[in-house]
Amino acid sequence: MKKALLLIMSSVLGLILVGCQSAPKPTSSESNIQSIMGTVSYRERIALPDKALVTITLQDVSLADAPAKVIAKHRFETNGMQVPLEFDLAFDNRKIDARHRYSVSARIEVDGKLRFITDTHYAVITDENNTKRVDLRLVGVKQ
């Protein structure tokens, strides 16, 4: 009788301990990767050359008296595509502080020379709308 009671108590205690076990945390860094999607466009009726280079940047712009800190950057060649150009900017969510302000900017270079750039602040992530999609309008740069 004692052995049966000991066996039942051991089983119950084992089940209780298994139930108290916390869920394993994801070990994959992919769980921390999020993205901001959107488009890049400009008003001018100018075709981009095949080798135009587009750069999308996510920056921490919290400090007014310091340069913006780059959180993520994505570059791609247009390969003949024209505006509006779609982008998907991946970033590590662990680098985001809910108290900070973030913005996305873009630029288009042709043969190493700047042709178009954003001149407007595009707030994302911690803004009041928690923006994850943004349509960037670039302006031409005088040559």
Question: What is the average pLDDT across 52-64?
Answer: 96
Specify the pTM: 0.76
Asked if 83 and 40 touch (Cβ cutoff 8 Å), the reply is yes
Going by pLDDT thresholds of 50, 70 and 90, the confidence category of residue 31 is: confident
pLDDT for 23 equals 52
Tokens representing 30 are 């992919």
Which domains does the chain possess?
Answer: 34-140 (2.60.40.2990)
Instruction: Read off the pLDDT of residues 45-54 as tens digits, 9 standing for 90 and up.
Output: 999 999 999 9
The single residue listed with the structure tokens 């920056």 is: 59
Q: What does the DSSP 8-state code read for residue 126?
A: S
CA 107/CA 119 separation, integer angstroms: 10
More confidently predicted of 28 and 106: 106
pLDDT of 55 over the 80 cut: yes
Planar angle of CA 126, 131, 132, nearest 5 degrees: 115
Instruction: Read off the pLDDT of residues 79-128 as tens digits, 9 standing for 90 and up.
Output: 999 999 999 999 999 999 999 999 999 999 999 999 999 999 999 999 88
pLDDT for 28 equals 54
Amino acid at 17: L
> What is the overall mean pLDDT for the chain?
87
Asked if 70 and 120 touch (Cβ cutoff 8 Å), the reply is no
First to last CA, the chain: 95
